[in-house]
Amino acid sequence: MSSLETFGKVAAFSPYVEEDIRQGFQDSSRLNLKIYMLKGTLDHIDLIHSTIAAFWPILEQKGYPFRYEEFPEGRSYGL
């Protein structure tokens, strides 16, 4: 059993979605997951945006319920 079969909800903050994760979602049947991703527009990390953008079509194609939000701030973790 993998962690994707254990947890039903995923929250990713400023996620870098690695190729093996995207490929795993692409190659597997749809799991019972709800996904939430957010990113600050001030993070200025192009890899974060590009990997999220590459992940969206996979989630849509597989029919995953997901939500993505961007906020006009960077990562402060409450500091």
With residue 67 as reference, give the H or E element that holds it: strand 66-71
pLDDT for 66 beyond 60: yes
For the chain, the structural domain boundaries read 3-71
* pLDDT-based confidence at residue 73 (cuts at 50, 70, 90): confident
Residue 26: its pLDDT value, please? 94
DSSP at 27 = H
Residue 23: its pLDDT value, please? 95
Instruction: Give the pLDDT mean for 52-78.
Output: 86
pLDDT tens, position by position, 19-63: 999 999 999 999 889 999 888 887 667 788 888 889 989 999 999
Question: Hey, CA dihedral for 35, 63, 56, 6, is it positive or negative?
Answer: positive
